[in-house]
Amino acid sequence: MSIQGSPTSASGASKLDLARWQAWLAESESLTADILERREGVPMDVDALWRAARADLEARDDRITDR
């Protein structure tokens, strides 16, 4: 579903918006390639990162609430 006149609608997208998006996409792809190169082609395990962040937050909460 798109909203008429929004940047995501074909009629509402300007050339400037498209150029900005293309520049962002190119930068994003470049950063992704740099990260994969540093990690020797191994992608990051985002699920593991989320589990670790959740465990850290729960541990902080436990210290505050004395569980």
d(CA 21, CA 9): 14
d(CA 58, CA 44): 23
Instruction: Write down the residue that tokens 């990260």 correspond to.
Output: 35
Q: In this predicted model, what pLDDT tens digit does every residue of 8-61 receive, in sequence order?
A: 555 566 999 999 999 999 999 999 999 999 999 999 999 999 999 999 999 987
d(CA 62, CA 67): 5
What's the CA dihedral at 42, 36, 8, 16 to 10 degrees?
180
Q: What is the pLDDT of residue 46?
A: 95
